Amino acid sequence: MSGKLRMNIFNGLEKIVKKDYPLGQSTWFGLGGRAEYFIRPQTIAQLADVVKRCSENSVPMRVLGFGSNLLVRDEGVKGTVIKLDGEEFCKVKHDGLILTAGAGADLGKLVLDCVRRGLGGIEILAGIPGSIGGAVRMNAGGIFGDLGSAIESVTLMDNDGNIFEKSKPELSFDYRQTNITAKIILAAQIKLYEADPQHLLKTVKEVWIYKKNTQPLNTKSAGCVFKNPRGMSAGAMIDRTGLKGTKVGGAVVSEKHANFIIAEKGCKSSDVILLIDTIKQQVKEKFDVELELEIEIW
């Protein structure tokens, strides 16, 4: 389908559609090519319209959160990338101990807001960057716990623009994954408990100190690149393979935490991908373990 014909698909939505949008600036790595279409719906109705049009015209569709665990290839992305950062998608509502957070809400800000209110349940997620939608999709977490354990239900949209809910127990969360198959997450309902704000703040500080001591913060990276194989640490395996500091082009394995890849000046996505392949191959040779990606590659 030609670009001209495709643009007609989004007739009337010109205000929210950008063509050939540089995606790198929307990811933590700061790398990658352009999106054929970059769409920022401002209302649920607009989003449903976009989703239906993509569906009816077989235009591939992806949703971008904060881009904190995403690598976009140098060639960029065909089709549509949707970003839910309009006011309607960032709403946060407290109803007693139930928190409803829109997909575009900032996880970090939400954690601190709950701590201030004396609401426990997500303080263990301090320091994890991302939107609520992205955090739900990958069941964000770390050694202290994950988001899935606090989620009661999620509001989703199917490919025809219909809105529906999925609740526990039919909603299940596992290590860095969930059984949600719908492309669009609209919101999550999170169950919290009353707690002493000082006690919660202490936990947040402990999590931050741990991260500061063990992770290369303030660098261009996308967090842990690989999932930890059951009962093992991906970072420790990469370290024991002697790969810390290994470089491919502008991509380098962090000296501080071997499961982080840092993008230095002049780095391309292809450098990161080559480095990922090198790590996988060497860990396979040394430990006979196939490392699985935790970051997403588009």
Question: pTM above the 0.75 mark?
Answer: yes
Q: Is the dihedral of CA 175, 271, 284, 286 positive or negative?
A: negative
Lowest mean pLDDT among 78-82, 144-148, 236-240: 144-148
Determine which helix (DSSP H) or strand (DSSP E) holds 270, and give its type and residue range: helix 269-287
Q: What's the CATH number where 269 sits?
A: 3.90.78.10
Q: What's the CATH number where 20 sits?
A: 3.30.43.10
What is the number of other CB atoms lying within 10 angstroms of the CB of residue 218? Answer: 7
Boundary residue ending a domain (66, 87, 108): 87
For residues 224 and 259, what is the distance between their CA atoms, to the nearest angstrom? 5
Mark whether 130 and 151 lie in a shared domain.
Answer: yes
Mark whether 172 and 132 lie in a shared domain.
Answer: yes
Question: Any idea what the Cα angle at residue 222 is, between residues 216 and 227, rounded to 5°?
Answer: 95
Domains held by the chain: number:
3
| pLDDT tens column, 87-130 | 999 999 999 999 999 999 999 999 999 999 999 999 999 999 99
Mark whether 65 and 108 lie in a shared domain.
Answer: no
Mark whether 169 and 239 lie in a shared domain.
Answer: no
Asked if the structure places residue 194 within a domain, the reply is yes
| pLDDT tens column, 36-70 | 999 999 999 999 999 999 999 999 999 999 999 99
SS3 39: strand
Domain that holds residue 40: 13-87
222 contact partners, CB below 8 Å, separation of at least 6: 27, 28, 29, 68, 69, 70, 71, 261, 295
Q: How far is CA 219 from the centre of its chain?
A: 17
CA terminus-to-terminus distance, the chain: 21
What is the pLDDT, as a whole number, of residue 217?
84
Q: pLDDT averaged over the chain?
A: 95
Q: Write out the two tokens for 140.
A: 């964000």
What is the pLDDT, as a whole number, of residue 6?
56
Asked if the structure places residue 1 within a domain, the reply is no
178 contact partners, CB below 8 Å, separation of at least 6: 136, 137, 138, 139, 148, 171, 172
Is pLDDT at 5 greater than 60 in this prediction? no
Mark whether 148 and 165 lie in a shared domain.
Answer: yes
Q: Write out the two tokens for 260.
A: 């982080």
Asked if the structure places residue 7 within a domain, the reply is no
